[in-house]
Structure formats: structure tokens, C-alpha cells
Amino acid sequence: MKRTGNTIFITGGGSGIGRALAHRWHDEGNRVIVAGRRREALEETVAGRSGMAYYELDVSDPDAIRSVAGRLTTDHPGLNVLVNCAGISGLEDPTTTRDLSRTSDIVETNLLGPIRMTDALVDHLKGQPDAAILVVSSGTGFVPYPGAATYSASKAAIHSYTLSLRALLKGATQVIEIIPPMVATDLLDGLTASPLSVPLDKFADDVMAQLTGQPEADEIIVEEVEPFRFAERDGKMREIVASMIADD
């Protein structure tokens, strides 16, 4: 991915990782468009930043995706980068019967959301110079957090989908997976205060440094997520899962 001169569309750009990366890309001289469900958060994200714009969008709504994609390519014909960052989580106990409505929402948002968003824009992106699709997954897609089993499963699935997309788009559009560790955001209660969470600014800075230093990279793997990303290779999967259960 080139460093500057892009037109970048970021889902989940109103807060957390999406907002942090949006501001850094904008500071680098890119035109940045963010999308999210909360207008107030989007307005705060773009406030005082010339060249930034926003669209209200719930990526769990396929009709809304199609509508925003049509407006986006009309309003910003130079769009060449899609960043699928929108995501939700939730603690759960899959060992007992429960209400699965949140489970369904997680799958719709975290898996079908980026699949549908990519589908809506891929034909446009393939015709653009320096095109890229970035997908924000999670370290829990490689080692599941048992307390958020569906979230972890959705991230494992989007990792697999990203691998397929990269192979099929080779030579046409770069496909990059950003793999966060536990980051201090509002994704789950307690993350911002946890001493185990990586500060948001540090994570975003590390991501940008890797994107700049390794513009052809397939994956962005910050230091703190390496134990998760390589757990299966290193034979540490069961040990890490057991430690997370013990911590709960």
C-alpha cells in the first residue's frame, strides 16, 4: 500500500482502531472517508480535518452497504483503498442455552459485513491504480478467547476469507490483514482500563510504521500479537487458551 495520495474508505471509522488509523492516514496526506453507525462519533472523527468525510452505515445491513457503496464511488471516484474495520464483540457462555441474538449480530457484522462491503466495491477497486483492501481481524482469530467464542470464530473466518481473496486478486488489488492484539478500545467493557491492553495510539503508530516500512506486506503483525499469530506453529495454542480461561 502506498503511503500517501490515496482515497481511503474505512468502516468502523468513528471510534477505536478505525478512527486512530483514519487520523494517521489523513495526516499522511490521504483523502479519508469514514463510516459508522453513530453520526455524533463520525462528526467528531472528521471535525477540523479538511478532506475527510463520513457516511452513516451499519455494515450488518446489506441494503445500506449497497446504497453507501453507490454514493461513495459517485462522490469519490478516485477511491482506491477499502479498510474493513467495523466490528462488535460480546462475552458469552456457549455451555448453556441462551439468547443468540447477539451471536447473530456478531456474525453479521464481523464476517458478512466485510464480505458484503468488499463485494460492493471490488469491481471499482480492481480498476484503480495502487488499489488495496485491508481487513482488520484479531489475534483471537488464531487463538480463540473462550469468553468471546463467537467473536473469535468470526475473526478466524474472516482471516480465512482474506487468504482466499488475496490469492484471487493477486496482481490486481493488494490484500492486507491487520491483526490486532488486545487494544485499549471500547470493544468490550474493561479493555481501556486493563493493564494487558496495548494503548490505542501505540498500536496505531506501530501499524503505520509497518505499513510504511513494508508496503508489500500481506499481514501487519505488531509485536504484542506475535504469540497469538504464531501459537499453532510454536505449539502454544492449548497453553494460551488455558491461561485465558484461568484469568477469567
Per-domain residue ranges of the chain: 7-247
The rounded distance, in Å, linking the Cα atoms of 6 and 8 is: 6
Residue partners of 247: CB distance under 8 A and separation at least 6:
none
- Under DSSP, is residue 15 helix (H, G, I), strand (E, B) or coil? coil
Residue 35 φ/ψ, nearest 5 degrees: -135, 150
Mean pLDDT by runs of 10 across the 248 residues of the chain is 96 96 97 97 96 96 97 97 96 94 97 98 96 98 96 98 98 97 83 85 97 96 97 96 85
Active site residue ranges = 151
The rounded distance, in Å, linking the Cα atoms of 216 and 193 is: 35
The rounded distance, in Å, linking the Cα atoms of 169 and 87 is: 24
Q: Which residues of 175-206 are buried (b: 16+ CB within 10 A; e: fewer)?
A: bbbbbbbbbbbebbeebeeeeebbebeebbeb
135's enclosing H/E stretch is strand 132-136
H helices of 48-179, in order, are 62-75, 101-107, 113-126, 149-168
Q: Which three cell numbers stand for residue 152?
A: 473469535
**Are the C-beta atoms of 42 and 56 separated by less than 8 Å?**
yes
Rounded to two decimals, the pTM is 0.96
Q: What pLDDT, on a 0 to 100 scale, did the predictor assign at position 188?
A: 74
Q: What pLDDT, on a 0 to 100 scale, did the predictor assign at position 204?
A: 97
CATH 3.10.330.20 fits 7-247, yes or no: no
- Under DSSP, is residue 24 helix (H, G, I), strand (E, B) or coil? helix
Residue 51, by phi and psi: left (phi above 0), alpha (psi -120 to 50) or beta? left
